[in-house]
Amino acid sequence: MPKALVASDLDRTLIYSSAALALTMPDARAPRLLCVEVHENKPLSYMTETAAALLTELGDIAHFVPTTTRTRKQYQRINLPGPAPEYAICANGGHLLVDGVSDLDWHAHVKERLASECAPLEEVREHLEATADPLWVRKHRVAEDLFVYLVVERELLPEEWVKSLAVWAENRGWTVSLQGRKIYAVPKPLTKSAAVREVARRTGAVLTLAAGDSLLDADLLLAADRGWRPGHGELAEADWTAPAITALPERGVLAGERILREFVSAGGGRGQV
């Protein structure tokens, strides 16, 4: 039988920054951690050693597809345990990597959709620069010429500004997502689910499993045969669910471990690590 396709978000789903660990993991009886990302000689992201063993098992029994909003450069900093994935999805579906190289035909297809179905990137970028207060904005970023995001001081960020931006963006065919210290503005046609469907077509997979924690993962979860979300993140805060989605009670790095255990079990493995 064909292998299952497992498409999972990375940040705050399978891997966790130091800040995310501090928010969700107590000091007492803390699990052993494995660093999976280093940048500028500093460790950035982690998973538990148990999660690493589960991911290695998963890579042997399923088509594991990292599915992230990160740019290609940001994704390539990550060194996940287990077999190197044949496919990876970056920039929220804007780039489909095959053995680490972007599929140019897929990227051209995505760009065509964006040009015809939503407001242009430049309009959204200019709006953010004009309305975001330098008091709480630390960085303005354009990612892969596909979407934009801000790095903010979360405690100073006005909630009403985010709500107002979401309404403005909705009317122009864009989605706003607040994840930790980042506010993303992403075109609605730029989806993880579309890229995952393309991978399913190429691999012949008949079972798709997925996990994610943010609003940008909702379409991915809905497109899967089964999906899981952790007990933290945008989706949990909104109490979001759907018939084939399991809302897990675990939060933080232990949620990543639980998600991988569910993937291995549903994909035909043992999951007994």
- Cα-Cα-Cα-Cα dihedral of 189, 187, 203, 209, to 10°? -100
Return mean pLDDT, the chain.
94
C-alpha 4/C-alpha 203 separation (Å) is 9
CA separation for the pair 269, 150 (Å, rounded): 40
- Render pLDDT for 242-256 as a digit per residue (tens, 0 to 9): 999 999 999 999 999
The full length of the chain comes to 273
What does the angle CA 144 – CA 149 – CA 151 come to, to the nearest 5 degrees? Answer: 125
More confident residue, 128 or 23: 128
pLDDT band at 31 (very low <50, low <70, confident <90, very high): confident
Taking alpha carbons only, the member of 52, 96, 91 closest to residue 70 is 91
Total-model pTM: 0.93
Percent of the chain whose pLDDT exceeds 90: 90
Q: Do domains 5-111+190-268 and 119-187 have the same CATH topology?
A: no
Would you say residue 241 has pLDDT above 60?
A: yes
pLDDT digits (tens, 9 = 90+) for 148-159: 999 999 999 999
Question: 119-187 is classed in which CATH architecture?
Answer: Alpha-Beta Complex (3.90)
For domain 5-111+190-268, the CATH architecture is 3-Layer(aba) Sandwich (3.40)
pLDDT at 267: 87
- On the question of pLDDT at 201 being above 70, the answer is yes
Domain residue spans of the chain: 5-111+190-268, 119-187
Q: What percent of the chain has pLDDT over 70?
A: 96
pLDDT exceeds cutoff 70 at 50: yes
Q: Hey, what are 172's tokens?
A: 């122009």
Instruction: Give residue 24's pLDDT.
Output: 64
Q: How far apart are the C-alpha atoms of 233 and 12, rounded to whole Å? A: 8
Half-sphere exposure of 18 (CA within 13 A, CB side): 5
Residue given tokens 């100073």 in the structure block: 156
Instruction: End-to-end CA distance of the chain: give it in Å, rounded.
Output: 24
